[in-house]
Structure 1
């Protein structure tokens, strides 16, 4: 039986998986990638808007996490740790893009074209472009808090840790984000925003 599938069926905890990976069973890192790829992709899209850039930053995140997995002290949840790495990688990429103003402008204007794969065209038909536009127009702090809390269902504490802000700031930013979005968009957000397909993991 395939070792990876066998471990999934045994419902190993994340801590146990980390121990196994650090001890030499490197292939099991794939399980952690599949577990958190959807979250990291959504977070990346909320910052960079281009799935090509986001996929690059996801690779960077997983490489850094793998290289430093033995240093993970379990003071926070693994998902929070990965989220923090992903946010930092995306913000660094955003700064790099800003060095080239024309490229930055082109990057945002072409984001829709980049997303017009057969899969995303289907998603667009279901949701309408208005959904992603509304989220994209939120100021970055509100957008990140909204995605982490309402889409990824992180707790207030986890969101604060991921963004390095206080609990009160998380709550205030979430309230502000909600007032800037129409109520009918919020209802559909968790099921449809920035769809992540398993084919991205395979790639």
Structure 2
């Protein structure tokens, strides 16, 4: 197959075959190919960059450990995103449990304002004005609509790819995307597609790659 005719999935599969054949360091290529996409997806769920980094590292470790079970007739990116979404869901459950426990402890001593224990908004870690504005608007969109919006409009996944990642019908993808756009209408609808949304910088990329490779003992 000509290099010009290779799809993103083909390239992923070539790298995966190298890893399975013993070229373990090739896993770094996979991570760097998918880091930005996973970060944006994770931020749309967790809204905390440190938590997302943890979720990404756990995702990559799990993917590496189960790489031999990956069916290459499917898209690696879809498989990887499903792992990340599951990991983010687990983190949300833990976060809610901690909040409930904190509230319980505080209630034993005095009344508590629940807003005091909420996560810090994304604008504390994102400096670009437009990116911050869009992120704040997106975070006002319910998660099930926000996920579809990020995948379709920012990550440019197809309707079918998005339905596979989220395990919902293509019709549902279209409905949720429309609903997300309606919620965002009148705010910053002209700035959907740009790299200012949950930006993923090289330093963060290197940190995640190095942490995963170290954990896996790949030097």
TM-score higher than 0.5: yes
Find the partner of 1:85 among 65, 79, 83. 83
Q: Residue 193 of structure 1: CA displacement?
A: 0.7
CA distance in 1, matches of 2:131, 2:30: 32
- Residue 173 (structure 2) pairs with residue 170 (structure 1): yes
Q: Output the aligned Cα RMSD.
A: 2.1
Partner of 1:48: 46
- Radius of gyration: which is bigger? 2
Asked if the contact 2:123/2:136 (under 8 Å) is kept, the reply is no
Deviation at 1:73, TM superposition (A): 0.5
> 1:183 Cα shift?
5.2
TM-score by length of 2: 0.79
Please tell me whether residue 146 in structure 1 is matched to residue 179 in structure 2.
no
Q: How does 1:7-156 map to 2 (within 5 A)?
A: 13-101=11-99, 102=102, 106-109=117-120, 111-113=122-124, 115=125, 120-121=126-127, 123-124=128-129, 127=130, 129-156=132-159
Please give the alpha-carbon distance, in whole angstroms, between the structure 2 residues aligned to 1:70 and 1:129.
40
User: What CA distance in whole angstroms lies between the structure 2 residues aligned with 1:83 and 1:66?
Assistant: 14
1:70-111 Cα distance to aligned partner (Å, 9 max, x none): 111023211111111111100110011010225896352354
Aligned pair count reads 186
Please give the TM-score of this superposition, normalised by the length of structure 1.
0.84
Write the deviation string for residues 124-183 of structure 1: whole angstroms up to 9, x where unpaired.
3xx163211110110010000000000111111110110111111101000100000025
Instruction: Tell me if the contact between 1:46 and 1:143 (Cα under 8 Å) persists in the aligned partners.
Output: yes
Partner residue in 1 for 2:201? 197
Higher helix share: 1
CA contact (8 A) 1:50 1:107 kept: no
Distance change >3 Å, CA 189–CA 25, structure 1 → 2: same
What corresponds to 2:109 in structure 1? none
5+ residue gaps in structure 2? Answer: 1-5, 104-113, 208-219
What pairs up with 1:171-186 in 2 under 5 angstroms?
171-182=174-185, 185-186=188-189
